[in-house]
């Protein structure tokens, strides 16, 4: 019998591979992460790749389930005093760090303090905290100066910065310095000896992890690990990444670019997972640079935007674009409201945009738009804004640059007028977590909105425990946001995670968590 | 020996100039690692705090002196992002780059020398035209086009080779070679073409010399004539081209590394530049500059081996 040459060579290569020195690891998940993990500290650095690393190796006191409800995770029981000022938490028994030592309340207190010094919502919470102390090895208390509505929501915050628990010795690190010790109490252990920054991150099952008994539900429930090892294989070239994924070399493709969604959706061996909220795109004006120091000029930007135009330019198929969304705190979230949005509900109105700019005193000065070459969503959004500004006769200067240069440029208060970015819904859905809704002048992120009334409303929102009253404040707050325009929402979109169909138990939570997954 | 010592001592001012230029270029170009570390939602105070902890708020001469002091003690510093020693990060990446470069050059030399010699020997015939045509085609195709083409043919369609990645030799020879086959061929074709053309033209020149005619008249076999008399005398420009090729490979391998996701020095360089990881970029440039100087030195020493008239 004669074998065709290709089959013969193929047989030789693969049979030889079977005798190679590398043992086959059937229970290894290979994932193409969204970026290169270069910083290991999820408190110092809020990037999503570092947050995802945090979910692998750390645990949280509370977590959100698939419905967005906050459920206990490391906490066993908790109680709140009648005056709503003292919150006492007791940890589950048997919790251990990955080095085998027990998790204590003192560890949690130190971790919360570090998080509270860094995170947007953590700072809000800690502004209301009078004292936080360990009562004994398993219990600690947060004593508030005044009632604070969303205590549990803050402790169960699902996205950056997530209040991950770390050993006290690690949490003692200055929040602006990177931690050096990656001991955690999460479901996996980080293999520092196998870490090749820019290429590979390896996690193995944490033998000391004690999952909850409830089934996994969103980020809550039992984080039962069903594989031995997870490898993040960073592939910078997206064409190579797609080919490797479709070739079966990779099991999970965390964030395929928008233009790959359609071919992946048509592949029977691939499944797509999308979270409920998706992402929100932001056009951020510089509130310190004329004409955008005038609210009318910022309102003009709203009339400039056709959300569908932006999302189409970014390459998202129709099914992955939300219909026009005017809610600052995400359509589909508990804080969705249409308050204040009526003037803009009709969509793009270039004549009105031009009129408002003139009323703001714009006389043809150069408007600098920071135009990144990547990431693709931000790059496409910048191009659409530039085009629309030109349509209404604005003297636009598009300054092309890489993303790192853009970050440096936008951190300076002069020399630019507009940049674009986006955030996941979990970082936008409430006034407490939405960093770009801050209007506290110099303390706000680049753009520096400054409005005392908006800050009063944010403070009132977090102080309110009653859901009905909080809804009323949300309406008032969003109405004020439409007047001040801290940023312009250029559209809500969904970026799915792709995984191969031999995986089961994948959780659609917007974070590529690797517990509960089985690989056949 | 004196020549060798002089050449090694000459490395010091070269590296010093490189160090100053790179340091200044990096710190004067736009970008700030503190902004990247602080993240999307950071306030100006957060960024300033991180800049302070990294020492980036110190005057440039002070930063340079600090870095130079470390380098003189053999310490290339620590990445501002990963917290890993720069030397360790470079060491992690040396093996893939060396293997890709070495095997690429080996592939190029093994195919290019016979092709060039044959083309010169059969000059003006269809063999010469075929080889020259293939060389022009290989020289004209960008590495990434060849790479994607090979991946489509041999990975996606035939399934013979993996699409991406690198396996160390210590993980087994077969996985090692399977992961390197496509990168080596796609990166090597251009050098093969360059070397084949250079070999052809140099051999043509040598084959026209009087001593070759004399040797031929003495009845020397074609093999002996080509390999012993012609090739040895044509070797100096060929060795120069190989030396230049190795130097070009070290900087050009980034395309191969990107297309095939090989974690080599090239990708580390680009990643570090994109995130403004100053200590890593400075370390890579120093190490690369030293490697260039070493390659040039070896090339120069090899001249003497092929041409006894060249003595230092």
Which residue of B lies nearest to A174 if distances are taken between CA atoms? B53
Q: What confidence score (pLDDT) does residue B189 get?
A: 93
Last residue of a domain, one of B261, B276, B293: B261
The single residue listed with the structure tokens 């090729």 is B245
One domain for residues A164 and A286: no
Same domain, B106 and B232: yes
Give the CATH number, domain containing residue B179: 1.10.3720.10
Q: What is the CATH number of the domain that holds A139?
A: 3.90.76.10
> Do A283 and A167 belong together in one domain?
no
The pLDDT tens digits for A129-178 are 999 999 999 999 999 998 888 899 999 999 989 999 999 999 999 998 99
Residue A271 lies in a domain: no
Does B29 lie in the same domain as B141?
A: no
Q: Best mutation site among B27, B28, B33, B43 for testing chain A: the one with the most A CBs within 10 Å?
A: B43
Q: Is A16 a member of any domain?
A: no
Residue B194 and residue B105 in one domain: yes
Q: Which domain holds residue A66?
A: 62-171
If asked whether residues B145 and B21 sit together in one domain, one would say no
Query: What would the pLDDT profile of A92-120 be if each residue is shown by its tens digit?
Result: 999 999 999 999 999 999 999 999 999 98
Q: What per-residue string of b and e applies to B34-65 under the rule 16 or more CB within 10 Å gives b?
A: bbbbbbbbbbbebbbbbbebbebeeeeeebbe
| A412 lies in some domain | yes
Are residues A10 and B158, on separate chains, in Cβ contact within 8 Å?
A: yes
Residue B294 counted as domain residue: no
B175 to A444: CB separation less than 8 angstroms, yes or no: no
Q: What is the four-CA torsion angle of A481, A424, A494, A386, rounded to 10 degrees?
A: 60
Is A295 contained in some domain? yes
Q: Is residue B81 part of a domain?
A: no
Asked if A20 lies within 8 A of B171 by C-beta distance, the reply is: yes
Residue A503, classed as helix, strand or coil, is strand
- Is pLDDT of A21 > 50? no
> What's chain A's average pLDDT?
92
Question: Is A103 a domain residue?
Answer: yes
pLDDT of residue B311: 67
Q: How many domains would you assign to chain A? A: 2
Q: Does residue B298 sit within a domain?
A: no
| Per-residue pLDDT reduced to its tens digit, A377-434 | 999 999 999 999 999 999 999 999 988 889 889 989 999 999 999 999 999 999 999 9
pLDDT in tens, chain B (312 residues): 777 788 778 778 888 888 888 888 888 887 888 988 888 778 888 889 899 988 889 999 999 999 989 988 989 999 999 999 999 999 999 999 999 999 999 999 999 999 999 999 899 999 999 999 999 999 898 889 999 999 999 999 999 999 999 999 999 999 999 999 999 999 999 999 999 999 999 999 988 889 888 988 888 888 888 888 888 888 888 888 888 888 778 777 888 999 999 999 999 999 998 888 999 999 999 998 888 888 888 888 887 777 777 766
Predicted local confidence at residue A299, as pLDDT: 97
pTM for this predicted structure: 0.88
Residue A514: pLDDT above 70?
yes
Looking at residue A427, its pLDDT comes to: 92
Are residues B140 and B200 both part of a single domain?
yes
Q: Is residue A345 part of a domain?
A: yes
- End position of a domain, from candidates A131, A152, A171: A171
Same domain, B103 and B237: yes
CB pair distance less than 8 Å for B164 and A38: no
How many C-beta atoms surround the C-beta of residue A176 within 10 A? 24
Contacts 24+ apart (CB under 8 A), A395-399: A395/A364, A395/A365, A395/A366, A395/A367, A396/A366, A396/A367, A396/A369, A397/A366, A397/A367, A397/A368, A397/A369, A398/A369, A398/A371, A399/A368, A399/A369, A399/A370, A399/A371
- The answer to whether residues B48 and B124 belong to one domain is no
**Domain check: are B151 and B230 in the same one?**
yes
My answer on whether A304 and A451 are in the same domain is: yes
pLDDT at site A113 = 98
CATH number of the domain bearing residue A361: 3.10.105.10
Distance from CA of B88 to the nearest CA of A (A): 10
Chain B residues within an 8 Å CB radius of A177: 53
Which residues constitute the domain of residue B21? 15-72
Tens-digit pLDDT profile for residues A332-383: 999 999 999 998 888 899 999 999 999 999 999 999 999 999 899 999 999 9
Total number of domains in chain B: 2
Q: Are residues A412 and A295 in the same domain?
A: yes
Q: Do B211 and B121 share a structural domain?
A: yes
Regarding whether B166 and B107 lie in a shared domain, the answer is yes
Asked if residue A185 belongs to a domain, the reply is no
Contacts 24+ apart (CB under 8 A), A455-461: A457/A431, A458/A124, A458/A431, A458/A432, A459/A124, A461/A149, A461/A430, A461/A431, A461/A432
Phi and psi (nearest 5°) for A190?
Answer: -80, 130
- Contact state of B53 with A177 under an 8 Å Cβ cutoff: yes
Q: Are residues B253 and B118 in the same domain?
A: yes
| Residue A216 domain-assigned (yes or no) | no
Kindly report the nearest CA distance between residue B172 and chain A, in angstroms: 5
């Amino acid at each position: 019998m004669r074998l065709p040459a290709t089959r013969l060579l193929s047989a030789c290569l693969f049979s030889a591979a079977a005798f190679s020195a590398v043992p086959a690891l059937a229970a290894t998940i290979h994932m193409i992460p969204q970026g290169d993990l270069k910083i290991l500290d999820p408190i110092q650095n809020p990037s999503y790749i570092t947050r995802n690393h945090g979910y692998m190796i750390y645990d949280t006191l509370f977590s959100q389930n698939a419905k967005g409800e906050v459920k206990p995770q490391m906490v066993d029981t908790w109680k709140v005093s009648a005056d709503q000022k003292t919150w006492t938490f007791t940890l589950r028994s048997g919790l251990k760090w990955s080095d085998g030592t027990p998790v204590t309340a003192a560890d949690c207190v130190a971790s919360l303090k570090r998080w509270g010094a860094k995170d947007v919502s953590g700072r809000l919470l800690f502004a209301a905290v009078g004292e936080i102390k360990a009562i004994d090895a398993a219990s600690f208390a947060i004593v508030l100066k005044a009632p604070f509505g969303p205590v549990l929501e803050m402790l169960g915050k699902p996205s950056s910065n997530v209040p991950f628990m770390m050993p006290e010795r690690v949490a003692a690190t200055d929040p602006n310095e990177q931690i050096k010790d990656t001991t955690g109490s999460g479901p996996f252990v980080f293999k520092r000896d196998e870490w090749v920054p820019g290429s590979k991150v390896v996690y193995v099952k944490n033998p000391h992890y004690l999952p909850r008994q409830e089934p996994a539900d969103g980020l809550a429930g039992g984080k039962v690990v069903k594989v031995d090892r997870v490898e993040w294989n960073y592939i910078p070239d997206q064409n190579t990444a797609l080919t490797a994924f479709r070739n079966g070399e990779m099991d999970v493709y965390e964030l395929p670019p928008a233009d790959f969604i359609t071919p992946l959706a048509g592949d029977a061996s691939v499944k797509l997972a999308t979270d409920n909220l998706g992402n929100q795109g932001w056009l951020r004006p510089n509130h310190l640079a004329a004409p955008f120091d005038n609210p009318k000029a910022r309102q003009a930007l709203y009339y400039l935007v056709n959300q569908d135009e932006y999302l189409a330019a970014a390459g998202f198929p129709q099914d992955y674009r939300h219909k026009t969304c005017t809610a600052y705190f995400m359509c589909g979230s508990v804080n969705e409201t249409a308050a204040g949005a009526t003037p803009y509900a009709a969509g793009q109105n270039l004549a009105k945009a031009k009129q408002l700019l003139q009323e703001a005193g714009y006389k043809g000065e150069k408007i600098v738009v920071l135009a990144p070459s990547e990431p693709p969503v931000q790059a496409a959004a910048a191009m659409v804004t530039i085009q629309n500004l030109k349509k209404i006769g604005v003297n636009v200067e598009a300054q092309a640059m890489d993303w790192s240069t853009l970050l440096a440029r936008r951190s300076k208060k002069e020399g630019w007028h507009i940049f674009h970015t986006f955030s996941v819904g979990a970082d936008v859905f409430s006034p407490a977590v939405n960093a770009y809704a801050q209007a506290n002048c110099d303390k706000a992120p680049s753009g520096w909105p400054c409005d005392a009334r908006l800050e009063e409303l944010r403070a009132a929102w977090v102080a309110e425990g009653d859901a009905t009253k909080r809804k009323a404040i949300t309406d008032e707050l969003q109405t004020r946001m439409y007047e001040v325009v801290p940023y312009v929402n250029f559209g809500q979109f969904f970026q799915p995670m792709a995984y191969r169909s031999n995986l089961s138990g994948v959780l659609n939570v917007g974070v590529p968590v690797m517990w509960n997954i089985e690989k056949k | 020996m004196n020549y060798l010592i002089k050449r090694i001592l000459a490395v010091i001012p070269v590296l010093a100039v490189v160090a100053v230029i790179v340091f200044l270029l990096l710190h004067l170009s736009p970008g700030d690692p503190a902004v990247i570390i602080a993240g999307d939602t950071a306030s100006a105070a957060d960024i300033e705090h991180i800049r302070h902890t990294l020492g980036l708020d110190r005057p440039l001469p002070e930063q340079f002196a600090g870095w130079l002091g470390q380098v003189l003690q053999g310490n290339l510093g620590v990445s501002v992002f990963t917290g890993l020693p720069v030397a360790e990060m470079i060491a992690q990446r040396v093996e893939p780059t060396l293997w890709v470069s070495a095997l690429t050059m080996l592939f190029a030399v093994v195919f290019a020398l016979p092709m060039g010699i044959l083309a010169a020997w059969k000059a003006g015939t269809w063999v010469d035209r075929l080889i020259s045509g293939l060389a022009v085609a290989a020289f004209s195709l960008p590495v990434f086009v060849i790479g994607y083409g090979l991946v489509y043919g041999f990975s996606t369609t035939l399934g013979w080779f993996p699409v991406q990645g690198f396996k160390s030799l210590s993980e087994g020879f077969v996985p090692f070679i399977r992961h390197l086959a496509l990168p080596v061929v796609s990166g090597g074709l251009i050098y093969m073409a360059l070397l084949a053309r250079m070999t052809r033209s140099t051999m043509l020149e040598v084959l026209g010399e009087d001593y070759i005619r004399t040797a031929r008249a003495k009845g020397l076999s074609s093999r002996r004539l080509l390999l012993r008399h012609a090739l040895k005398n044509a070797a100096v420009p060929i060795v120069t081209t190989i030396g230049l090729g190795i130097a070009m490979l070290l900087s050009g391998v980034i395309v191969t590394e990107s297309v095939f996701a090989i974690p080599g020095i090239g990708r580390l360089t680009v990643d570090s530049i994109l995130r403004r990881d100053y200590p890593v970029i400075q370390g890579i440039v120093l190490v690369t500059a030293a490697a260039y100087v070493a390659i040039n030195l070896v090339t120069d020493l090899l001249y003497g081996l092929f041409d006894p008239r060249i003595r230092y």
